Structure 1
């Protein structure tokens, strides 16, 4: 079995873009997918969380069945923007290995335009796995840049979510897994992840 770091970014990515997932009520999600950009109604001053893991998004939104999360979006953003957010992010929790003290962490958290948490990755049945997946929170200027500068394309993947869910429910997990996006280890070195506890 291949060893996986406890905290590693795995994502569908190209040389220039990385795909992240979000789920919204149809009033936001449908026009976003239709126009390939976030509408004016999307609040650019609110913290927004993006998830490179399709299955973690499925866990969070209940396969697109939870209220106000019925439209699942695959948002392709620039790698430059994604890496800027990682570089400028702070861990969402205090770590004595990474922060000199709690006061320093709290000050960094207040000032950072992005924050990171590592949550257990999920298998196709949405059970937790023994390694973690990145959640990246964007606030203030980071949220605005995500919506207005970094976004390359938006795809409504709700039908995919429902199809994978139906296969899982029928017991055909092998077929469900074949439909999953090809998420590979993202080439994030120490410069991007060391201050976030990643890669270990």
Structure 2
């Protein structure tokens, strides 16, 4: 997709593979969508408990709009409830430091054999998929998805999660605005996500784009906003 082909609601171009998120000095917010039974149990316990299954890979997404794309604005079966999970930055960076890309990348891996060995040994997978605009059109840069399994899931559930909030209301409110053509109002209802400062070694491991290859500041957000609505309000981003 060229710059002339960007959707009308798209922001200025940013670097191809950088992590954008809501975060504080101690935590970063990621999103997951589940069936009501799993979501209710997690909200009550403050972490994931049965019927959540630790033996399965669980995917976390710092991009709210990519979560909306994946869950169909919280309408797909088994994804009717969207959760904002505040996890420690220490845990988030541990996961990325132990991650392997889901696909072989010559610029990241010494050779395909090395990649396959890392893939077998790593408890974390990373994928870079096209970021989404507020109308869920693909943008010409990527959003990160992080799959946790084995030791990483155990650490996530037992140690990394600080707080879980239900943001299904935000998803539905933004979707109503989008459906009604109120794009500015929809954008204003989104969580504000900014460039996350990855340590250099982690950035290289997951094939991220160097910070100096993308414009700094507000233009590096998927969609600027003035916060999120009502009870779904999440902590301010910072760093």
- Pairwise same-fold verdict (TM > 0.5): yes
- Work out whether 1:85 is the aligned partner of 2:95: yes
Counterpart in 1 of 2:180?
170
The offset of 1:92, in angstroms, is 0.6
For the 8 Å contact 2:13–2:140, the answer to whether it is kept is no
Alignment partner of 1:193 out of 159, 183, 203:
203
* Residue ranges of structure 1 left out of the alignment (5+ in a row): none
Q: TM-score, normalised by structure 2?
A: 0.81
- Work out whether 1:130 is the aligned partner of 2:105: no
Q: TM-score, normalised by structure 1?
A: 0.97
CA RMSD of aligned residues (A): 1.2
SS at match of 1:68: coil
Once the two structures are superposed, residues 106-133 of structure 1 have per-residue CA deviations (whole angstroms, 9 ceiling, x without a partner) of: 1100101111110000000000000000
For the 8 Å contact 1:51–1:134, the answer to whether it is kept is yes
**Off by >6 Å, runs of 4+ in structure 1:** none
Assess, with a 3 A threshold, how the Cα gap between structure 1 residues 100 and 149 changes in structure 2: closer, same or farther.
Answer: same
2-structure distance, mates of 1:11, 1:98: 23
Alignment partner of 2:35 out of 13, 25, 46:
25
1-structure distance, mates of 2:161, 2:45: 12
SS at match of 1:192: helix
Counterpart in 1 of 2:78?
68
For the 8 Å contact 1:16–1:79, the answer to whether it is kept is yes
SS at match of 2:155: helix
2-structure distance, mates of 1:42, 1:59: 22
- Aligned residue pairs: how many? 200
Counterpart in 1 of 2:52?
42
Counterpart in 2 of 1:152?
162
Alignment partner of 1:14 out of 18, 24, 34:
24
2-structure distance, mates of 1:154, 1:21: 10
The offset of 1:2, in angstroms, is 5.5
SS at match of 1:148: helix
2-structure distance, mates of 1:74, 1:42: 16
2-structure distance, mates of 1:98, 1:14: 29
- The structure where strand makes up a greater share of residues is 1
For the 8 Å contact 1:121–1:128, the answer to whether it is kept is yes
For the 8 Å contact 1:45–1:144, the answer to whether it is kept is no
Counterpart in 1 of 2:231?
none
SS at match of 1:41: coil
